[in-house]
Amino acid sequence: MAEKRRSGVGTVGIGESKAVKEEDKDGEFLSQCGVGLLLRDALLKLLEARPEDPIAFLAEHFTNLGTECEGGPLPGGGGDGGDEEQEENRVEEQQQLNRALWHLSLAHHSQRSAFNNNIRVAYDLLSQCGSRRRVPSCVRGRLYSEMLRCLCSEGGLSGTTAAPLLRRIRCHDHEAVPFELFRQGVQTCAAFADYIRKSQCLYAAVASRPERPAERDLCRAVLSTLQEALETSHGADSARFLEASAKISPAKLAQTMVEASGTGEQQEGPTMDAKEFEDAAAALFIDRVRVVN
């Protein structure tokens, strides 16, 4: 019996030893593949974005990641290249632009740390365009301007609303865009899109009757309050004081509307439509954006 017990103990010990070795091999494999870091990064992105559909978000994240890993050196060596190579460059630029925009969509610009991290990722992705060795250099002005236009469009801005802002912050096609300028441009577009959405909400609050444009006097009063909020906002980072519409509380808006309407009775007078109000609000914002030299 003692011999059997000793034999059994030995068998268990051998089994446990094999299991430990298998676990070590599995851990070594995962470490070599970098799976742990990939999963950690994916979970951090998930926590930053907090999407409604986490599974779909993770699927899209790994799809983008897989596409990035597939990108290799462009064929053709050097020189100007032919039509085929130019087409490949255009396809590559569009792919990198889509990935950059996706990363920028993961966090709201008010989440400063996460948003700045995503801006860096977007900058590195666009810096690789045209680089034969896939080594990040600088983002070209043409790609930078196109990205800003896409940011405004995805933010719900019409072309006519975004155009005056883009004329101030865009770069020439051939220029190399440093990271700090890239960051400021992205933050400005993100803040501007939020600002316009909030100004639209302000107009909806003023226009008490949807079938008729809002009273012009009320609109002017609200625009004056909006201008005051912009002028009293200060900070080293332009994105901080360009979010001034958030400073207008419902109580402040209600007070402004009452003061502008006098007795509060409905009056038939000059009106201002939603587009005119939006353009006026946008001009207040854009006037405070420095022109890129």
pLDDT at residue number 116: 92
Half-sphere exposure of 59 (CA within 13 A, CB side): 4
pLDDT at residue number 270: 87
Mean of pLDDT values over 27-32: 63
Residue 213 has pLDDT above 90, yes or no: no
Give the residue, 276 or 33, on which the prediction is more confident. Answer: 276
Highest mean predicted confidence (pLDDT) among 45-54, 73-82, 235-244 = 45-54
pLDDT at residue number 64: 67
pLDDT at residue number 124: 93
Least confident of 19-28, 181-190, 265-274: 19-28
Residue 104 has pLDDT above 60, yes or no: yes
pLDDT at residue number 88: 78
pLDDT at residue number 264: 47
pLDDT at residue number 224: 87
What's the mean per-residue pLDDT of the chain?
76
